[in-house]
Amino acid sequence: MEIIMSVVIGFLFMAAVYLMLSKSLIRIIIGTGLLSHGAHLLLLTMGGLSGSAPPVVADGVSTADYADPLPQALILTAIVISFAVTSFFLVLAYRSYQELGTDNVNLMRGTEDYE
Amino acid sequence: MSNLLLFPVLIPLLFAAILLFFPKKIRLQRLIAALGAGLALLAVLFLIAKVKADGIQAVTLGSWDAPFGITMVSDLFSALLVLSATVITLFIIFYSFPTIGVAREQSYYYPAVLFLLTGVNGAFTTGDIFNLFVFFEVLLMSSYMLIVHGGEKPQLRETIKYLLVNIISSALFVAAVAFLYSVTGTLNMADLAVKIPQIEATGILTVIAVMFLVVFGFKAAIFPLYFWLPGSYYAPPIPILALFGALLTKVGVYAIMRTYTLFFTMDTDFTHELLGIIAIVTILAGCIGALAYFDVKKIIIYNIIIAVGVILFGVSQLNEAGVDGAIFYLVHDMLIKAALFFLVGIIAVIFGTSNLREMGGLIKTYPFLGWLFLVTTFGLAGIPPLSGFPGKLLIVQGGFEGPQFWGSIVVLATSLLVLLSVIRIFIYAFWGEPVETVPLKKSTYRKMLIPSVLLVALTVLLGVGAELFMPYISGAGEVLLNPSIYIDAVLKE
């Protein structure tokens, strides 16, 4: 199971890198979304996919059957953080489309230099 | 068990939260922001006295036992950095009064500064690797807000790049933590330091160590990963630039120092030699940039990169002189970069431009500013009585004692280039024929000058009174070189 997950995560990272290297800003943001998906799945996979019961204390479940609760807590934290950053990024992209009039990152060059 | 070490994190957080309620009342905003930073400073001074007297302070939140809860640890190293960060933020708040402008002050500027201080202090104090990630995000979120604050075109454009680079490095941080967790099964730094030497497969740990170097290298702007810094730091106004230049990259440097002395010590032949080589190339790359530009802000920005290289070279040697020197230089560099940005900000306001070629003859009208700037440049380059000297001396000594003696020669040689790059500002701006300047109100000038003078005075004190500060520096270095002190303090074995 971990092998399949690793391949899927690798594919997500690949797609993210491909999208983040493109010119359109919205594709870059989609790329960051895929990148954080990949990172979160990696966290889940690396914690180990063993355990048959959700980490909620219940009668009749032995401790060995619980899934590892720690990676789930870490993912929950990482998800809300990347939510916040992504929403900020989307608003920033909207504002810069209004102000700069383009979503092509190749055209967003610095021209304040004197040399 | 004392909660004193939490106050430098909690006080700015509390005051930032209070400031969110009345964004339009500028005088109250200023007063409370200064009060918050001042109280945090007071708390840090108490904390340092306590750490010096009683050894490392550690609190595991919620009274859980050490590896299970989140531990906050304050040794001398992190306490010193928290002190410098708080002092600098206090001065930047004062410097912001005349420079940042009413429109920005009314749009949550001071809360963002205090949230940034919360993140920085938290990152310096935490003893848990995932908690470090969270504090990184706290300071990064505030820095995104500050760098785009005002919404001018260059700011919008550069924030996109800054944001993208930091999103990528944060995702890599999560991935690196995931790998580390799957290998060791713990996230507490002290517990990691216990578990990592027990693992026999050092290959995977070396890979993780290099991954952490990449992650923190993005934040700290080391050689192949510094490309985002010159453009992004050029965009925001001077007080924000001073805040970023003094604090943000240094958090990355701190994280590299902590991880590479506390737990990634299993294969130093590879990891620390790599760190040393990267540090040297970083210095060279920074020097090229610092000499290439005729723009005062760009020159100082590239000097940030040089300093990061010098500090990391000291750490990579892993001997007493090198590590002590790196700590001294880190503290010195935080102070002097803020001071330089303050002075350069005044110069840029007087001329109405940051282009060196359109400046000249300022020594006739502003002699005090000129000599103050000269002292600061000498401090940066490391001329003996001033603060850049003791740190660099120890780093060079560490290099000669360590495996990479040629690195010390590069550090010495590039000091001249550093001096050249900043003395050029002095020559172009203060000597020569006077050019027309923008009239600056006497009171505004005084308000900008006072924090700068105080900060420069602090750096001079740090240099002249180096003997006074050395017990603290070597106490901090001792913990870095002997992780067992840190482990014992946290796990209470």
- Residues in A touching B292 (Cβ below 8 Å): 115
Please report the pLDDT score of residue A111 as a whole number: 57
Q: At residue B188, does pLDDT exceed 60? A: yes
> Is the separation of the CB atoms in B59 and B2 below 8 Å?
yes
Please determine, for residue A110, whether its predicted confidence score (pLDDT) is greater than 70.
Answer: no
Cβ contact, residue pair B181, A85, below 8 Å: no
Instruction: Tell me which residues of chain B, numbers 348 to 387, contact chain A at a CB-CB cutoff of 8 Å.
Output: 355, 357
Identify all chain A residues contacting B178, using CB atoms and an 8 Å cutoff.
39, 42-43, 45-47, 71
* C-alpha R_g of chain B: 21
Q: Which of A83-92, B174-183, B353-362 is least confident?
A: B353-362
Q: What are phi and psi of B55, to 5 degrees?
A: 85, -170
| pTM for the predicted model, two decimal places | 0.95
Q: How far is A36 from chain B (nearest CA, A)?
A: 6
* Chain A nearest CA to B267, separation (Å): 23
Task: Round to whole Å and give the CA distance between B324 and B343.
Answer: 29
Q: Which two tokens stand for residue B346?
A: 């005044």
User: Is A92–B163 a contact, with Cβ atoms under 8 angstroms apart?
Assistant: yes
- Residues B178-198 have a mean pLDDT of 93
Q: pLDDT over 70 for what percent of chain B?
A: 100
Beta carbons of B241 and B295 less than 8 angstroms apart: no
Interior CA angle at B365 toward B363 and B371, to 5°?
35
pLDDT digits (tens, 9 = 90+) for B5-14: 999 999 999 9
pLDDT in tens, B31-87: 999 999 999 999 999 999 999 999 899 998 888 888 899 999 999 999 999 999 999
Residue B404: predicted pLDDT: 85
Taking each helix axis from N to C end, the angle separating B129-147 and B249-262, rounded to the nearest 10 degrees, works out to: 170
Is residue B354 within 8 A of residue B297, CB to CB? The reply is yes
Q: How far is CA A12 from CA A16, A33, A87, in A?
A: 6, 10, 21
The mean pLDDT value for A48-70 works out to 86
Beta-carbon separation of A38 and B177 below 8 A: no
- B115, B142 in Cβ contact below 8 A? yes
Angstrom distance (rounded) from CA B176 to CA B209: 9
pLDDT band at B1; cut points 50, 70, 90: low
- Cβ neighbors of B307 (< 8 A, separation 6 or more) are B286, B329, B333, B337
- Torsion on CA atoms B423, B424, B428, B429, rounded to nearest 10: -50
Q: Is the pLDDT score of B340 beyond 50?
A: yes
- Chain A residue with minimum CA distance to B293: A115
CB-CB contact of B279 with B246 (8 Å): no
pLDDT at position A114:
39
Chain A residue set in contact with B, beta carbons under 8 Å: 20, 25, 28, 32, 35-36, 38-40, 42-43, 45-48, 70-71, 74, 77-78, 81-82, 84-85, 88-89, 92-93, 95-96, 99-100, 105, 108, 110, 112-115
B-chain CB neighbours of A71 within 8 Å are 178, 181
The contacts of residue B260 (CB under 8 Å, 6+ apart) are B209, B213, B271, B272, B275, B315, B316
Inter-chain touch A20–B153, beta carbons under 8 Å? no
Per-residue pLDDT tens digits for B235-256: 999 999 999 999 999 999 999 9
Q: Which of A14, A18, A80, A85 to mutate to test the interface with B (most CBs of B within 10 A)?
A: A85
Report the pLDDT value the prediction gives residue B64, as an integer from 0 to 100.
87
Cα four-point dihedral sign B279, B285, B291, B297: negative
Q: Dmax of chain B from CA atoms?
A: 69
Are B379 and B388 contacting, i.e. CB atoms less than 8 angstroms apart?
yes
pLDDT at B139: 94
Q: Is the ipTM of this complex over 0.90?
A: yes
- Per-residue pLDDT of B269-316, as tens digits, reads 899 999 999 999 999 999 999 999 999 999 999 999 999 999 999 999
Q: What is the DSSP letter of B435?
A: -
Kindly report the nearest CA distance between residue B165 and chain A, in angstroms. 10
- Band of residue B268 on the pLDDT scale cut at 50, 70, 90: confident
B28 vs B24: CA distance, rounded Å? 9
- The mean of the pLDDT values for chain B is 93
Task: Choose the weakest-confidence range: A47-51, B179-183, B226-230, B484-488.
Answer: A47-51
Q: Return the structure tokens found at B189.
A: 């730094």
Rounded CA-CA distance B60/B126 in Å is 10
Asked whether the beta carbons of B126 and B72 are under 8 A apart, the reply is: yes
SS (H, E, C) B133-173: HHHHHHHHHHHHHHHCCCCCHHHHHHHHHHHHHHHHHHHHH
